[in-house]
Amino acid sequence: MPPDATDRLATDVQFLKGIGPKLAMPLHKLGLRTVGDVLWHLPRRYEDRRNLPPINKARAGQAATVRGRIVGVSSRPTKGGKMIFKARLADATGEIALVWFNQPYVGKQMQKAYQDQVDIVAFGMVKEGARYELEMSSPEWETLDEDDDPDEFARLHPVYPLTEGVPQWVVRRAARAAVEFYAQDLVDPLPDDLRKKHKLQKLSWCMRQMHRPDSPEMQQEARRRLVFEEFLFLQVALQMRRQEVQQEVGISFPISQLAGVGQTSGNLFAALEEAHQGDLWEQVHAMLPFDLTGAQRRVVGEVWADMERPVPMNRLVQGDVGSGKTAVAACAMLAAVRCGYQAALMAPTEILAEQHFFNLSKLFAPVGINVKLLVGKQSASDKRKALQATESGEAQICVGTHAVIQEAVKFHKLGLAVVDEQHRFGVVQRMALRQKGFGNPDFLVMTATPIPRTLTMTLYGDLDLSVIDELPPGRKAIKTHWRQPYERPQVYAGVRKLVQEGRQAYFVCPMINESEKMQTQAAEDLYYRLKSQEYADLRVGLLHGQMKAAEKEAVMDSFRRHELDILVSTVVIEVGVDVPNASAMVVEDANRFGLAQLHQLRGRVGRGSTQSFCVLVADAKTPDVQKRMEVLRDTTDGFVIAEEDLKIRGPGDLAGTRQSGEIEFKIASLVDDGHMLEEARRAAIALLDADSALQQPGHALILERVRARRSDEALIVVS
């Protein structure tokens, strides 16, 4: 229960009107012990009983509420030996039959209603019964006493989430009593001015409208407020964390000075370009075999400006697959090293770390910067050497897995940490790493593929954001096809044609049960089949994660040198591989991959100047698979794909193994409530601008809620 509960809200559910100790038991099963718990147990949906036609206007196929008196009752056995009970309900316009199967107690009640001639209301789906008669089977119903308001029945009724053995009516009764007698005790954590500004209703009003809505519009208005509130507490927590980092003393890298340009209020990279001279400018050019795109320049400028500021950098760089995030990270690391610090790059897996190491070693060789690799499976002596080099400062850049860098490494003078996330690294790990730094190191976070905007704002809401929204020049959009397994012969023929034109191709086998062994098996099987049958006359190679690093490198090298036409591989090639002449990719059993992963894979082709193709071979057994294949076929924009992925999979799955507490919302939805999230974020920023520590009395309850959130985080840290 939220911490604003007054004593009255802590009242045991058994004291609710109409509940008592016996009905309290099923409520306990749902985890509802206090009145406050009941209030915050919100309906899953609503049953709309407002359609109240005269009986002769009721139509089969519609849900309706009918009102009248019982004009006849009858019962008869079915063939299966059960009883059917029928009561005829009539108003001034017509008749409808209410039908129950095997419910003798309802039969008795109807009999009584018939004798007493009381008014009845009933709600259910109207059907056409025997002899064109209208009927409703097993309707919800009530007798109406003189002073009962039929509108009480014919309204929106809440449908609550339940567990086994808990009847809906018990929860409804408890909630109704809770709303009636206790909703006014809810203390509103949002001050009046904030509510006015965002056009939000009072909490007690919202609670009433959630449990007993007067109309769908009012329920929506109530929900809107609760969503806002939920997002607001999170956003305030994130912004406070951001503030805390901003108050720390970080490293001020003297980049302008190094670059020979004065302090600039514009983009630092642009200033450097303009000056067209100096050590840093020359080194950037010596390092990169290409000119940076406009977007890359802008982002490097943003990163460098952060590095120069005396507060620790906390920045997320997002860009589509192939947008050139590595070059941006390299520019940041170059600046750190030239300012006399070490830089670290951390990847979530060993394969990724190796790929980064390979790419960065190549980039940094011309400028004489020493890069070292640190992964778990290195030989003891290699690892010891790398550790020593890192501790002595001889290794200027250290590339490794998150685990290794966090646990084993001592740095001489760590100034910048680049985190390659893939949704696997969390706030807590970032904090832990901070302690390894020399002072407070700067942080640059990169994600492999774009992530949806709502997730960015929740998972990375405490970071500044840079977006590389441009691809390097000369890229042709990849053509993606989706083929059924029985169409493989045509697919193979198509690849053969490209190979005959001098191109190369990848065949990718899926991850099976997360098991590397089974993946390897699948790739080996395909490799032997292609090599001995379809492509017996071509040069076919094999690459998988269980090969030794040197073997992998040898295979990759021969593929790069075009000594192989076809490379059969596991998802090892997902990242970092860069062979412009490879212009086709066939993904086998593509249905086993997630959207983001397929997008990342597809990014391995389309790097040269010729038209590239990606063929997804997948049997669409479910609508979900069909949707994923169509999304990939129809768009190459990673940001669009990320939003679709969120819609298909939901936020929990998208966040992967990252701790997901931050994206678990009681009411709000990251899929549907994006605009509210934006609004709450702006509100949080404005709130802290006005009252940075939430010291004003009107903000005390917000502070309390935010603290409650943050103490959950603290729990994660110690466990």
Binding site residues, ligand ADP, CB under 6 A: 290-293, 296, 319, 321-327, 472, 578, 603, 607
Q: Pick one of Mg ion, ligand ADP, none as the site partner of residue 438 (Cβ within 5 to 8 A by kind).
A: none
Shortest Å, Cβ 672 to ligand ADP? 30
Distance CA 314, CA 268 (A): 18
Which one, 113 or 468, has the nearer CB to Mg ion? 468
Q: Which does 319 bind (CB under 5 to 8 A by kind): Mg ion, ligand ADP, none?
A: ligand ADP
Q: Minimum distance between the CB of residue 565 and ligand ADP, rounded to whole angstroms? A: 21
Partner interacting with residue 290 (select from Mg ion, ligand ADP, none; CB below 5-8 Å by kind):
ligand ADP
Handedness of CA 568, 569, 574, 575 (dihedral sign): negative
Q: Which does 653 bind (CB under 5 to 8 A by kind): ligand ADP, Mg ion, none?
A: none
Closer CB to ligand ADP, residue 219 or residue 466? 466
* Nearer residue to ligand ADP within complex by CB, 43 or 319: 319
Task: Closer to Mg ion by CB, 154 or 642: give it.
Answer: 642
Q: CB of 472: closest distance to Mg ion in angstroms?
A: 13
Give the side-chain half-sphere CA count within 13 A for 187.
17
Give the H/E segment covering residue 461.
none
Q: What does the block give as tokens for 252?
A: 């001020």
Q: How far is the CB of 476 from ligand ADP (least distance, A)?
A: 14
Residue 636: CB atoms within 10 Å: 22
Q: What share of the chain is helix, strand, coil (3-state, %, to 5)?
A: 50, 20, 35
Q: At 61, which helix (H) or strand (E)?
A: none
**What is the total count of residues that contact Mg ion (CB under 5 A)?**
1
Provide the mask over 303-332, with x wherever binding to Mg ion is found by CB under 5 A and - wherever it is not: -----------------------x------
Count other C-beta atoms under 10 Å from residue 232's C-beta.
26
From Mg ion, ligand ADP, none, which one binds at residue 292 (CB under 5 to 8 Å depending on kind)? ligand ADP
Query: In this structure, are residues 416 and 332 in contact, taking their beta carbons and an 8 Å threshold?
Result: yes
Binding mask 325-364 for Mg ion (x = CB under 5 A): -x--------------------------------------
User: Is the separation of the CB atoms in 78 and 115 below 8 Å?
Assistant: no
Query: Could you tell me whether strands 342-347 and 566-569 are parallel, antiparallel, or unpaired per DSSP bridges?
Result: unpaired
Q: Kindly tell me which of 296 and 326 has the beta carbon lying closer to Mg ion.
A: 326
Q: How far is the CB of 358 from Mg ion (least distance, A)?
A: 11
- Give which of 551, 594, 601, 595 is closest to 572, Cα–Cα: 601
Q: Report in angstroms how near the CB of residue 321 gets to ligand ADP at its nearest.
A: 5
Smallest separation, CB 596 to ligand ADP (Å)? 12
Q: Three-state SS for 375? A: coil
Nearest CB to ligand ADP, comparing residues 190 and 399: 399
- The least distance separating ligand ADP from the CB of residue 287, rounded to whole angstroms, comes to 11
DSSP state of 87: E
How far apart (Å, rounded) are the C-alpha atoms in residues 327 and 699?
44
Task: For residue 400, give the 3-state DSSP assignment.
Answer: strand
Nearer Cβ to ligand ADP (293/456)? 293
DSSP single-letter state for residue 34: B
Asked if residues 324 and 309 have their Cβ atoms less than 8 Å apart, the reply is no
Of residues 396-455, those binding Mg ion (CB under 5 A): none
Q: Which residues bind Mg ion (CB under 5 A)?
A: 326
